[in-house]
Amino acid sequence: MHLMTRAPYPLRTICRWALVVLVVMLGLTPAWAGQGRRERGGRTPVIFDTDICDDIDDTWALVMLLNSPELDVKLITTAVGNTELKAKTVARILEIAGRTDIPIGIGVKHSDGGNRQDAWVAGYDLASYSGTIHRDGVQAIIDTIMKSERRITLIAVGPLPNIGAALDKEPGIAEKARFIGMHGSIYKGYGGSDTPSAEYNVKAHNKDCRKVFAAGWPMTITPLDTCGLVHLTGPKYQQVLKSDRPLAKALMENYLAWQKQPIAAKDKSLSDAEVEKQARATTDQRSSTLFDTVGIYLALSTDLVEMERLPLIVTDDGFTKIDREKGKPVRCAVRWKDLGAYEDYLVERLLR
């Protein structure tokens, strides 16, 4: 017969020690580890800073954000150009989504000009928005971060004048927030080029971008290496195009308006029907590059991308370069593990 040897420590004691070791390990986890995943204990509080109406990908990202219940959206701020006019597009989308509980902040204004999606909000009165409108979006960013009991995830998918101004006014926001951005170009440039690019969100308002990259918060970015490769075509795109869900329909209406505006501006002799026909040659077939959606994804997960922690500097001419001596450690989504799986994920989110 076999004699059973008594364990030197009871199982309960071993489990207790294992729990202690786990707690200690979690306490030693660097601040950036796990960034882009849901906060422990509930939904992740988020501020979304967007230059919506410049490129249409911001609108795709906004719909994705609103269809992500893991993210608790505390504020949406409009950036660059005529920020008050841009707020109309945000407000109308929030109304369609039934999310007028989300405050809108009007960011730093740079012009009184129009936007490519203005036709979609023609006749819309921002004063009719039943939610809160903050005329000083920069102060709204500061107040939302500083008053939050939990660390805010600040997702920025455009140039950074709002965030730069907020840092100037209250540097302490960097201690109470983490930053996720659609910025930069590490190994690849536009269109998957092997030559890095001076990416627009970095090059435009470059001084503000350098402030953001120098601040003390944990940072994660999707550079062109990953976000610059995202398009929807074929059956995946057709699911979104033909969906009868209110947000998906609003998205497609905005896409059509965005496509029509430059066509009409270029040739004023075209009839409305001719303008729409030309615009639909694209909008009925495929999306534009959906850069900004990856910024939302990184607030939810990093499972489908390869992450590298790289010391980055922002140069005066708009490049994000690796600098082992002077660079700030930034978590960068530099390659896709499975781009097709991300496209499927994106379609699922858009159609929730």
Q: Are 263 and 270 in contact (CB under 8 A)?
A: yes
| Domains annotated on the chain, with CATH | 44-231+289-350 (3.90.245.10), 234-283 (no CATH)
| DSSP, res 286 | B
Residue range 307-311: average pLDDT? 98
Name the band, by pLDDT with cuts 50, 70 and 90, for residue 231.
very high
* 239, pLDDT greater than 80: yes
pLDDT digits over 106-163, tens only? 999 999 999 999 999 999 999 999 999 999 999 999 999 999 999 999 999 999 999 9
Render pLDDT for 15-24 as a digit per residue (tens, 0 to 9): 444 444 443 3
Show the tokens assigned to 176.
């109470």
Q: Which of 103, 173, 106 is nearest to 145 (CA)?
A: 173
76, 325, 332 from 184: Cα distances, Å: 22, 19, 9
Query: What pLDDT is stored for residue 42 in this prediction?
Result: 83
Q: Would you list the DSSP string of 192-247?
A: G-SS----HHHHTTHHHHHHHHHSSS-EEE--HHHHTT---BHHHHHHHHT---HH
pLDDT of amino acid 315: 97
> Is it the case that residue 30 has pLDDT exceeding 50?
no
Q: What is the pLDDT of residues 280-301, one digit of tens each?
A: 999 999 999 999 999 999 999 9
Residue 40 has pLDDT above 70, yes or no: no
More confident residue, 176 or 24: 176
Is 276 in a helix, a strand, or coil?
helix
- Give the list of residues 6+ apart from residue 135 with CB closer than 8 angstroms, or none: 106
Which stretches of 30-154 are DSSP H helices? 57-66, 83-97, 137-147
